[in-house]
Amino acid sequence: MNLPYAEPYKTKMVEYIKPSTVEERKKWIEEANYNLFNLSSEKVFIDLLTDSGTGAMSDKQWAEMMMGDESYAGSQSYLKLKDAVEKITGFPYFLPTHQGRAAENVLFSVMVKEGNIIPGNAHFDTTKGHIEFRKATALDCTIDEAFDTSLHHPFKGNIDIEKLENAFRSNPPDKIPFVVHTITCNTAGGQPVSIENIKKVSQVCKKYHTPLIIDAARFAENAYFIKIREEGYQDWSIKKICRELFSYADGMTMSAKKDGLVNMGGFIALRDEELYKQATVFNIMYEGFLTYGGMNGRDMGALAVGLDEATEFDYLETRIKQVAFLGERLVEHGIPVLQPFGGHAIFLDANKFVPTIPRNEYRAQALAIELYIEGGIRSVEIGTILADRDPFTHQNRYPDLELVRLAIPRRTYSLNHMRYIAAVLKKIYDSREQAKRGYSIVDEAPIMRHFTVKLEKISH
Ligand code: F0G
DSSP-based three-state secondary structure for 173: helix
Distance, CA of 44 to CA of 167 (rounded, Å) = 44
* Domain assignments of the chain as residue spans, ordered by start: 22-51+313-457, 59-310
> Interhelix angle for 161-169 vs 195-207, to 10°?
10
Helix segments in 266-387, DSSP class H: 273-286, 297-310, 313-332, 350-353, 363-375
Ligand 1 mutation pick, 126, 131, 286, max ligand atoms within 8 A of CB: 126
Sign, Cα dihedral of 27, 329, 343, 81: positive
For residue 212, the SS3 value is strand
Mean pLDDT score, 230-250? 98
What residues are labeled active site? 72, 124-125, 215, 217, 258, 450
255 lines ligand 1 (CB under 6 A): yes
48-69 confidence digits (pLDDT tens): 999 999 999 999 999 999 999 9
Instruction: Say if CB 292 and CB 121 are below 8 A apart.
Output: no
pLDDT for 2: 82
Query: Is residue 459 predicted with pLDDT exceeding 80?
Result: yes
Q: Using a 6 Å cutoff on CB, does residue 449 contact ligand 1?
A: no
Three-state helix/strand/coil letters over 109-123: HHHCCCCCEEEECCC
pLDDT confidence of residue 331: 98
pLDDT at 1 > cutoff 80:
no
What integer pLDDT is reported at residue 188 of this predicted model? 86
- Protein residue closest via CA to atom 18 of ligand 1: 52
Fold of 22-51+313-457: Aspartate Aminotransferase, domain 1 (3.90.1150)
Q: Which atom of ligand 1 is nearest to the CA of 49?
A: 19
Nearest-atom number in ligand 1 for the CA of 344 is 20
Ligand 1 center to 182 CA (angstroms): 10
Report the separation in Å between the CA atom of 85 and the middle of ligand 1, taken as the mean of its atom positions: 19
Looking at domain 59-310, its CATH architecture is 3-Layer(aba) Sandwich (3.40)
pLDDT score of 99: 98
CA angle 298, 299, 302 (to 5 degrees): 90
CA 80, CA 42: separation in Å to the nearest integer? 36
Say yes or no to pLDDT of 84 above 90: yes
Q: Is the CB of 52 inside a 6 Å radius of any atom of ligand 1?
A: yes
Write down the mean pLDDT value for the chain: 96
Kindly report the pTM of this predicted structure.
0.95
| Closest to 307 in 3D by CA, of 347, 239, 259 | 259
Is residue 130 in contact with ligand 1, taking CB distance under 6 Å? no
Atom of ligand 1 nearest to the CA of 185: 3
Q: How far is it, in rounded angstroms, from Cα 79 to Cα 119?
A: 34
146, 156 Cβ separation under 8 angstroms: yes
Segment 245-278, tens digit of pLDDT: 999 999 999 999 999 999 999 999 999 999 999 9
Question: pLDDT band at 227, cuts 50/70/90?
Answer: very high
Ligand 1 atom 16 nearest Cα: 52
**Using 50, 70 and 90 to split pLDDT, how confident is the model at 401?**
confident
21 CA distance to ligand 1 middle (Å): 31
Query: CA of 440: how far to CAs of 58, 274, 361, 458, in Å?
Result: 43, 49, 6, 7
* Residue 112: closest CA among 267, 294, 282, 361: 282
The residue among 219, 223, 220, 229 whose CA lies nearest residue 155 is: 229
